[in-house]
Amino acid sequence: MPYKFTPLEPIQYHEFDFNRFIEDTIHNSVLQQITFVQEWKACWLYVLLEEDEYVKKCIKMRPDTNPLLEKINANPQLRGMENEIFVYEMNSLHGDTFLFHFDVNKMRNFTLTYRLNKITLSPSEFFLDDSTTYIPSKVNDNRLPFFARMFGIPQPFIVADGNKRIMAKMKSGEKRFTGYEFTPELVAHSLFSHLEYLFYKLIEEMNTLATMVINNVPSDLMKRYSFVFRQSKGNV
């Protein structure tokens, strides 16, 4: 996954087969039609595996900590505040699971810093955490939920904040929900680690390149678009 942590538990490393994930996605999509697809795959594997090794080293050096604790230690003003994370499990075709850890406090700051678009969605358009506890009183909580754009799953969005609110309102009969739209750029910068950032950029790019293939965009333009080709290997 390659790792997991919670506000109360230290980070734990788990294997994730990046090579198989990319290969399965290529095999099961129009990406196989891209002329430079093997070069593209090799570049992505390089940056992902390099960062994965860095994560392993960090966990070995600091096995009893987690990214949230490190963030609080680096910013003493965060002590005593509610430091919330949302963990989304993305299941791959080959059975591995990659965990995205969303920094909800950072996302809240984004709502204050940027003029975020508000969108109204039906339940079929977002993933609602099925482990959410039903709290009836949340039906009166009118804070806007956070809809984070996601790729590689059936729904175009996940609820990164506001699962309990939406669940309570759904049970009261509401069928449409308005919340803040977090664009791919903001979602990528809402994740705790650089490895999560890179993996999110990969699945976003897979989606965009597939659209380009369907629309017959020339290969040279697709290659110029690619995040991994636009960055030097040492600076991704």
User: What is the per-residue pLDDT across 16-73, written as a single tens digit (0 to 9) for each?
Assistant: 999 999 999 999 999 999 999 999 999 999 999 999 999 999 888 888 878 877 777 7
* Entry pTM: 0.92
User: How far apart are alpha carbons 101 and 154 in whole angstroms?
Assistant: 19
Domain chopping of the chain, boundaries? 1-101+191-236, 118-182
pLDDT band for 81, please (50, 70, 90 cuts). Answer: low
Q: Could you give phi then psi for residue 45, rounded to 5 degrees? A: -60, -40
| 8 Å CB contact between 180 and 147 | yes
pLDDT tens, position by position, 117-168: 999 999 999 999 988 899 999 999 999 999 999 999 999 999 999 999 999 9
Amino acid in the structure at residue 93: L
**221: enclosing H helix or E strand:** helix 219-225
The topology under which CATH files domain 118-182 is: 3.90.1530
Looking at residue 101, the DSSP 8-state letter turns out to be: E
Averaged pLDDT of the chain = 91
